């Protein structure tokens, strides 16, 4: 969909982007193609698209995927999406908040594939739901096989960060899969133009981390470790877990960490090692 096509649809259906909902329409076909290619979509795939809007990505997905399930909360876009569904018998529209869709109670066989985790997510996400989106699908499920999403460039860079620049966000996503920035997307590829550039982020080899038996406890542990970024990790753990300085220091030494280590410097492997030693203190 180019800018001319977008203007036509907006005028025809008396629509406009709602900034309060972070609505920015993608108007670059090359970016759409790269977004879909980054998820390795083929004719056997069930694809879940979140926030299809006027269907720029949806229309292209329908040409490739076996089934496209597009979940759109804004009813204003339904006339456009329903017309698209009439022209593509492999498209299903769900008018609901994605975080309220109960895939266990939807009878369609293809939607049940989402429940059974045999699906991919391809989406140009509203900026205001990026963090909750990843947390929802990775922590709670249904967990997809692949995610390909357009998000803010700055957020994408935080997600792929390595030792020395880790954050709660990067660790929370990397424990489930392998993130990669596939392409930087200029803000000029959207209308209205957002304030920042974006990126196509792919997350592949998604699965529940086998090394962590209690995800909720591990996330609580991470939050304690990152509770005060400017302080040493040992201080955060001592104060957050209410344990002695000696026990914290002994734990750090056992897994080969400096007593001066800070949270952002540790690898995911080191966090898991610390958790194994201190999990009895994580309430």
pLDDT band at 142 (very low <50, low <70, confident <90, very high): confident
pLDDT of residue 179: 98
- The Cα 158–Cα 259 span in angstroms is 25
- Return the exposure string of 203-212: e unless at least 16 CB atoms fall within 10 Å of the residue's CB, then b: bbebeeeeeb
pLDDT at residue 103 above 90? no
Q: What are the residues whose beta carbons fall under 8 Å from the beta carbon of 6, sequence distance 6 or more?
A: 25, 27, 54, 56, 191
**Percentage of residues in the chain having pLDDT higher than 70:** 94
- The Cα 193–Cα 150 span in angstroms is 14
pLDDT at residue 126 above 90? no
pLDDT of residue 229: 78
pLDDT of residue 108: 59
Q: What is the mean pLDDT of residues 177-181?
A: 97
Residue ranges of domains in the chain, CATH in brackets: 3-204 (3.40.50.150), 215-281 (1.10.8.100)
pLDDT of residue 113: 64
pLDDT band at 109 (very low <50, low <70, confident <90, very high): low
- DSSP codes, 194-224: PSS-EEEEEEES----TT-S-HHHHHHHHHH
- DSSP codes, the chain: --HHHHHHHHHHTT----GGGT--EE--HHHHHHHHHTTT--TT-EEEEE--TTTHHHHHHHHH-SEEEEE---GGGHHHHHHHHHH-TTEEEE-S-GGG--GGG---HHHHHHHTT--EEEEE--GGGHHHHHHIIIIISPPPSEEEEEEEHHHHHHHT--TTS--HHHHHHHTTSEEEEEEEE-GGGEESPPSS-EEEEEEES----TT-S-HHHHHHHHHHHTS-TTS-HHHHHHHHHT--HHHHHHHHHHTT--TT--GGG--HHHHHHHHHHHGGG--
**Percentage of residues in the chain having pLDDT higher than 90:** 76
Compute the mean pLDDT over every residue in the chain, rounded to the nearest whole number.
91
Q: What is the mean pLDDT of residues 176-190?
A: 97
pLDDT at residue 115 above 90? no
pLDDT of residue 32: 97
pLDDT at residue 159 above 90? yes
Per the listing, tokens 């292209």 go with: 60
pLDDT tens-digit profile of 56-66? Answer: 999 999 999 99
pLDDT tens-digit profile of 190-247? Answer: 998 999 999 999 999 999 888 898 999 999 999 999 998 789 999 999 999 999 999 9
């Amino acid at each position: 969909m180019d800018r001319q096509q977008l203007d036509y649809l907006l005028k025809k259906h008396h629509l406009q982007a709602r900034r309060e909902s972070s609505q920015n329409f993608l108007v670059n076909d090359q970016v759409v193609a790269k977004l879909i290619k980054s998820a390795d979509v083929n004719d056997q795939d069930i694809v879940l698209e979140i926030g299809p809007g006027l269907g720029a990505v949806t229309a292209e997905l329908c040409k490739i995927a076996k089934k496209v399930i597009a979940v759109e909360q804004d009813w204003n876009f339904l006339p456009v999406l329903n017309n698209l569904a009439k022209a593509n018998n492999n498209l299903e529209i769900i008018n609901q908040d994605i975080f309220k869709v109960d895939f266990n109670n939807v009878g369609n066989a293809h939607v049940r594939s989402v429940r059974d985790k045999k699906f991919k997510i391809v989406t140009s996400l509203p900026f205001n739901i990026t963090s909750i989106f990843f947390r929802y699908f990775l922590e709670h499920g249904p967990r997809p096989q692949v995610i390909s999403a357009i998000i803010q460039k700055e957020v994408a860079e935080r997600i792929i960060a390595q030792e020395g620049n880790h954050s709660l966000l990067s660790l929370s996503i990397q424990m489930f899969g392998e993130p990669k920035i596939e392409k930087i997307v200029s803000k000029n590829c959207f209308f209205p133009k957002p304030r920042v550039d974006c990126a196509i982020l792919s997350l592949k080899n998604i699965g529940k981390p086998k090394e962590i038996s209690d995800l909720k406890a591990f996330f609580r542990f991470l939050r304690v470790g990152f509770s005060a970024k400017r302080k040493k990790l040992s201080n955060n753990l001592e104060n957050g877990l209410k344990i002695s300085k000696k026990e914290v220091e002994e734990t750090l030494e056992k897994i080969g960490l400096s007593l001066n280590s800070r949270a952002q410097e540790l690898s995911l492997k080191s966090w898991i090692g610390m958790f194994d030693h201190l999990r009895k203190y994580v309430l």
